[in-house]
Amino acid sequence: MEETDDSLPTFELINRLLIQQRIEFVPINTKEQTAGGAIGNLLFISFFATANKNQQSFSTYQLTPIPFNQGQQRLKLAQIPYIIGISTKTMELIQWTKEESNTCKFTSMSSCRETPPIKKNWKQTCLFEILTDSNLTLCRIEHELEPIFIQRVGQQWAISTINETKCHRVTQLEQGEHAITANNELTIPPIALITIDKSTAWSCDNFFLPSITNGTNKFITIIENKKLNFDDSILIDLQKAMSNDTRWEKIPYIPGNIKNMIEYLITTTPTTIVSSTAWYQHGLAIGLLSLGIIAITLIILYMRLISKIRKTSTTKMIIMPQI
């Protein structure tokens, strides 16, 4: 979690606060016209947005889900907003996606041009479980494809790799010499927060971490056992906390449509459907049966005809007497 730390020039700040601008033409009376032939003046009217003094304030934070290793897979926390705002008085929540926060500069401006809905009851969320240091029963995970994750979080570097990484602490002029020297060799865990001084940088096997030029705050706030702890270590090992299965079961993230389908299949009892098929849907079977009946009938008629012919020829035979 990172507090927003940006600054805006005055001109850009004015442009962001500008809501509407109107240009009006004010004509000059014929008596007041000057020798230059001016017929009027252009009047520029600008409207700016300002925050209400009586409106409650929100503390804004930028959230960074750091990938972690679980077995042979790379995973990270799913469905996490980009920036959140929390009111310490009313415990209300505002959250922004990355696209929604492009027009917001909370350090320089007291408000954003477009404010998302304010959530009054968000206790049944993963974010609330994280902030209250509870068991993560509502949090879900998703796959992370990148093998190396590096991002600046406040005044520290967040590192996430598959294996341990060897690094060297060097000055800015010694960047090309770290490969032939073993001085100041450090081994960082797969997941860590690193604080780098202004005068040094870290040259690692697969990446290079430059020094942070602005002021460095070495104290990091860690929520543990429902208490706020401050850590000023140069390197903080996050691998142990990420691999804790007792606090987080790491249930995979399932999209809403697939989840609804699975729940429907589980809760719905199968029913046996007996469908009666119409006689005309069995055309081939009926045709074969009809042909069979016709063939048998013809055979019977043929046999009876032959038998009748034989009887007729026997009765008409004349036997001549002997002389």
pLDDT digits (tens, 9 = 90+) for 90-125: 889 999 988 888 877 776 676 677 778 999 999 999
> In a 3-state reduction of DSSP, which class is residue 202?
strand
Q: What is the pLDDT of residue 261?
A: 75
Q: Can you tell me which residue has the tokens 């927003």?
A: 4
Q: Which residues make beta-bridge pairs with 16?
A: none
Residue 315 tokens read as: 């009765």
Contact call for residues 137 and 249 (beta carbons, < 8 A): yes
pLDDT above 90 (res 293): no
Strand 140-143 to 73-77 pairing = antiparallel
Compare 285 and 200 and report the one with higher pLDDT. 200
Strand 83-86 to 149-153 pairing = unpaired
Max avg pLDDT among 196-205, 282-291, 303-312: 196-205
Q: What is the pLDDT of residue 59?
A: 85
The secondary structure of residue 248, as a DSSP letter, is B
Encoded amino acid at 181, one letter: T
Residue ranges with strand state E in 28-67: 40-48, 59-62
Average pLDDT score over residue span 177-186: 58
pLDDT tens digits for range 41-84: 888 888 877 666 677 788 888 888 999 888 788 888 888 899 99
Q: What is the pLDDT of residue 92?
A: 92
Distance CA 73, CA 166 (A): 22
Q: What is the pLDDT of residue 150?
A: 92
> In a 3-state reduction of DSSP, which class is residue 27?
strand
Strand 191-194 to 156-160 pairing = antiparallel
Helices (H), the chain: 10-17, 126-131, 239-242, 256-267, 283-315
pLDDT above 60 (res 5): no
Q: What is the pLDDT of residue 3?
A: 46
Radius of gyration, CA atoms only, the chain: 42
Q: Can you tell me which residue has the tokens 């967040």?
A: 158
Report residue 130's pLDDT band, with 50, 70 and 90 as the boundaries. Answer: confident
Would you say the pTM of this structure is higher than 0.75?
no
In 3D space, the residue among 200, 224, 223, 203 whose CA is nearest the CA of residue 212 turns out to be 200
Least confident segment among 80-84, 183-187, 310-314: 310-314
